[in-house]
Amino acid sequence: MNTPQWQFRDPTLPGARPAEFAGRANPWTTRVAPWNRVSLAKVVLTLAVAGVLLNAGRAAVAAEEPPLPWPTEPLSLADCLNRAESHNATIASAKKELEAAEGVVIQTRAILLPKLQLSGEFRATEDQSVESAATPLGTIRFGQTETWDAGVRLVQSVYEGGRMRSALRSSRLTRAAAVERFQTVLLDELLRVRESYYDALLALEQIGVQQASVTLLERELQDNQRRFDAGSVPRFNVLRAEVELANAKPRLIRARNAWRNAKTSLAHLMGHRVPNDITEDIPLALSGKLETVPFELELGKALVLAQDQRSELKALRAAEQLRREGMVEARAGARPSLQAFAGYGVRRAQFGESLSDELHGWSAGVQASWNLFDGRMTRGRVVEATARHEQSEIDYENTARLISVEVRTSYSNFTEARDVLESQKKVVEQATEALRLATARAEAGSGTQLDVLSAQTALTEARTTQNLASRDYLVALARLQRSLGVETP
């Protein structure tokens, strides 16, 4: 059998060899080649350079990763939601938290699995520390100045004071809580995407409304200018038309700015980074419309559904049960621990003349331990775990009440948005007809310019109110669905 290649001291250094070895072959040098410091430095330097180059290569690969392709086709709401689910930074971070929780699950279950241990030791002692006895046959030494041993051991926990079953339950609860927390982040981010998408659609519709208003006022100004040039109307009509047109242009400018900002926010939520060479309008087109769908749900059913479906409550339920398992683990410190083991070992023979003389064989058995008094550490852990468990119950009840308030508020806001939308169904048609009649009367000479301008203002306000009502309805519906803990279809 080959001699183990372990070495802790350089035998060429002063004092590295006991005096009794003088004139004898150096066991270190005859059995183990000493380290070459120059070669070791080269190896360390080579490994360091290789590590730096490897990290630099990884960084270069990461830097060369292409950005998320910019959309070239108009995006529907479903397209935006899918892109956000795949590339949103907050959702991506939550996925990493989910992976980290899986690591915690693995650590928790480790107590259930056997442990395989490999150990080894080499020891050199002074000669005078080895016991010896004089006999008629000579001096007998009870040991060696150089010893070594190595072995492999398999250890399996048999009883850990209840922690083994608790670990199995805790791992399931940890995974369940992590999934529900991820679901919470996912639904929150998708709600933000919906709101941003609806805001962008509102801004786009408002551009159309304000552009139409400006076009009508420009036409009115041109008409009054022609009439003034013909001498049929006073200069006052021209000035009034100019003022109305000037007042309408800022609203169009604000609508265009809201459209730009909404697209920027939506692109960010989808995980896109606006290219630096784009300094004006973002080339992002949307295919959706502010189309509303009817939705009916009683408040009582909404409250019950929220208490059953909200991921926040599910996560807190799992957290409360985890705290209960924490109490089990804390109490386990006052109970015995029992492990079974089996292994194989090899060591230098105690009375062997050569360092390569060895003894080896199998071993098996059980080991137990019980802390009869640990300075009240276990008691402190139990007190802490109990308080944490009671705190989790308080957090659950408080969150349940807050969710109830959120559902009631969201339901009330949805009812308001629905009623406002219902009240605006025929307003645009009526305002359009009123403008037509006012224009016809003004052309016939029976109406005034004020009637036409008032009708134009009323039409613009009606279109703006209808668009805002549609947006508010869709946002209120999305928030209501979120408060219920479900994703809006």
Note the pLDDT tens digit of each residue in 194-212. 999 999 999 988 888 888 8
Q: What is the pLDDT of residue 445?
A: 67
pLDDT score of 2:
41
- Count other Cβ atoms within 10 Å, centred on residue 185: 18
9 DSSP assignment: S
Mean predicted confidence (pLDDT) in 382-408:
95
In which band, very low, low, confident or very high, does the pLDDT at 449 lie, cut at 50, 70 and 90? Answer: low
Structure tokens, 2? 């080959």
Using DSSP's 3-state secondary structure scheme, residue 6 falls into: coil
231 burial (CB, 10 Å; 0-12 / 13-18 / 19+) is exposed
Mean pLDDT of the chain: 81
Please, what are the domains in the chain? 77-92+176-332+375-489 (1.20.1600.10)
Q: Could you read off the pLDDT of 312-334 as tens digits, one per residue?
A: 999 999 999 999 999 999 999 99
pLDDT for 475 equals 94
Residue 7: pLDDT band by 50, 70, 90 thresholds?
Answer: very low
Report the C-alpha gap between 400 and 87 in whole angstroms.
31
Written as six digits, the tokens of 323 are 């705290």
Q: Which of 449, 456, 457, 414 is nearest to 227 (CA)?
A: 449
Work out the average pLDDT over 128-154: 79
DSSP assignment of 135-200: ETTEEEESS-SEEEEEEEEEEEEEE-TTHHHHHHHHHHHHHHHHHHHHHHHHHHHHHHHHHHHHHH
pLDDT tens sequence across 144-171: 778 889 999 999 999 999 999 999 999 9
118 has pLDDT over 70: yes
**Angstrom distance (rounded) from CA 321 to CA 315:** 10
DSSP annotation of 79: H
pTM given for the model: 0.76
The percentage of the chain sitting over the pLDDT mark of 70, rounded to a whole number, equals 82
- The backbone torsions φ and ψ at residue 348, rounded to the nearest 5 degrees and listed phi first, read -75, 140
Per residue in 377-389, pLDDT (tens digit) is: 999 999 999 999 9
pLDDT of residue 50: 53
Is 41's pLDDT higher than 50?
A: no
pLDDT at residue 13, as a whole number: 37
In this structure, what are the phi and psi dihedrals at residue 66, rounded to the nearest 5 degrees? -65, 145
* Average pLDDT, integer, range 4-20: 38
CA distance 331 to 165: 13
d(CA 169, CA 165): 6
